[in-house]
Amino acid sequence: MIKKLDILLVRSFIGPFIVTFFVSLFVLMMQFFWLYMDEMIGKGVGALLLLQLLVYISTTLVPLALPLAVLLSSIMTFGNMGENFELVAIKSSGISLLRFMQPLFIFMLFVSGLAFVFANNVIPVANLKALSLLYDVRNSKPTLNIRADQFNNDIQGYSIRVGSKDKDGKIIRDVMIYDHSDMVGNNKLVMAKEGEMIATPDKQRLIFRLKDGWQYHEGYENGAHNFTQIRMHFDEWDKVFDLSGFKFTRSNEDGFKNANQMMNVAQLVENIDSLKKNQQHSTANINSYLAPYLILETQSKEGDRMKKALAEKDYKTRKYDSSFVELISDSLRKPVLQAVINNVRNFKSLMDVTALDYKLQTENYLRYEIELHRKFTLSFACLLLFLIGAPLGAIIRKGGLGMPLVIAVAFFVAFHILNIAGEKLAKAESVSPWLGMWMSSIALLPVAFLLIKAARNDSRVFTADWYKKMYRAITDRLRKKQDIENQKQSG
């Protein structure tokens, strides 16, 4: 039956859980900005598109933020109750720690189920949207920014330099434009004393309205020996540049759908089965692939002659008077050796291709297996970190964001490092995929049981008094040992 104490505990947990979840998500989002800020600034990406990218990226970061929020909120909840002596009152009334943790454990089972549904259905779609949009942003051209006294090569085929610009950013002076569009070098040059930069309403064209300038053109015309040089003065001339390449365009998301991060459990299992069948098929057919290059006998007269010659050798004592090559007639020796060399080369090429194909299939298989186990490790991580955080809070008996935050970050960093190390070991085929992805959980599960046992026994391992007591005990023992040595020396 649900008790009032159970409802009180769940209410005390939900508030810190929601707050710490969004704080953790915000911190992880800031890390993303620090990594990709330089690649997004100056690309002409609108605020709405950036907001859309933020939503997708924040969704993909839930697998990291959720376990950290569970760990931190459980430490804060039980630590606050321990600091206010509520845990002491509950235990004195005959309610054990395990019974007190029961409602939150049931609540965490519900959260873990939601985490699995989220990881299986929402995160693959968010990964597809986020990674495709991030790819487009990173590969888009920066907005055109022509600075004074600097050559600008953003427009393909042109190198532009202006001596100075007015404050309005439109009037330019001492203009120099090198035209490389015909790919033959600096054979076209435009120089003008002043001009004006005008963008078309659709932002697809940029017009340089130049005044009082010269055009220079040199090159070969009508034959390699007909070199011409042209110089032409103009009072006013418009040079139009195409800016369509600077427009942000979205790529087709279908090109990203085959990645393992974009698949749910059913799709991952289907791809894993397909890869297993392909590997078995390749292994079974490798003999048929190599059979044409492993010819040991021929049906020709030369082959019959060689078999007869080999039959006359003394196989019992393994004594041969001549090598195998010497058994071939002089007229056929060179073609036969050349054919052997070609067969060996083809054999090696086929083996290299087969080995590379098998390696790629193995890498894909490992990626799919790792991603499949990742769907389940997220759910179990929420339960595991709750089993660590709840008794840890009962032991340290401190609420707020001081000591609980430090301890929670330490445990989460250890969990995250073990998770990354296990994934890398699985990708390197040092361990199986399931062991690599569950390594962090296997390593920390005994720690959770030890902490639960310590909390049930009212251990004071993480309190300041315990460390002071241990320090005094060590110093007293060292002092006694020093006194004994001094007495021996004096005696």
pLDDT in tens, 222-243: 655 667 788 888 888 888 887 7
| Cα–Cα dist 170/161, whole Å | 14
Contact call for residues 452 and 391 (beta carbons, < 8 A): yes
| Cα–Cα dist 491/488, whole Å | 5
Tens of each residue's pLDDT in the chain, 491 residues:
457 877 888 888 888 899 989 988 998 888 877 777 766 665 566 677 778 888 888 888 888 889 989 988 888 888 888 777 777 787 777 787 788 788 888 899 999 999 999 988 888 888 888 888 877 776 665 556 678 888 887 777 788 888 888 877 788 888 888 888 777 777 888 899 888 888 777 777 888 888 888 888 887 666 556 677 888 888 888 888 877 666 666 666 676 777 788 888 888 888 888 888 877 777 667 767 666 666 554 445 555 555 555 555 544 444 444 566 666 667 777 777 787 788 788 878 888 887 888 888 888 888 888 889 888 988 898 899 899 888 888 887 776 666 767 777 888 888 889 988 988 898 888 888 889 889 988 998 998 888 888 888 776 655 566 667 777 788 888 888 777 777 777 65
| Helix (H/G/I), strand (E/B), else coil: 163 | strand
| pTM (2 d.p.) | 0.65
Q: Where are the domains positioned within the chain? A: 4-140+380-425+446-474, 158-246
Specify the pLDDT at position 317: 44
| Cα–Cα dist 276/359, whole Å | 13
Specify the pLDDT at position 50: 78
Residue 236 parent element (H or E): strand 227-242
Q: Which residues have a Cβ under 8 Å from the Cβ of 105 and sit 6 or more positions away? A: 383, 386
Give 463's strand partners.
none
Specify the pLDDT at position 320: 46
| Cα–Cα dist 425/432, whole Å | 8
> Which contacts of 302-307 are long-range, i.e. CB under 8 A and separated by 24 or more positions?
302/328, 302/329, 302/332, 305/329
| Residue 10 CB neighbours (<10 A) | 16
Report the interhelical angle of 330-396 vs 97-117 (nearest 10°): 140
Residue 388 corresponds to which tokens in the numbers above? 């660590």
Contact call for residues 190 and 175 (beta carbons, < 8 A): yes
**Residue bearing tokens 């707050």:** 19
Specify the pLDDT at position 260: 80
Specify the pLDDT at position 390: 86
Specify the pLDDT at position 239: 86
Specify the pLDDT at position 101: 83
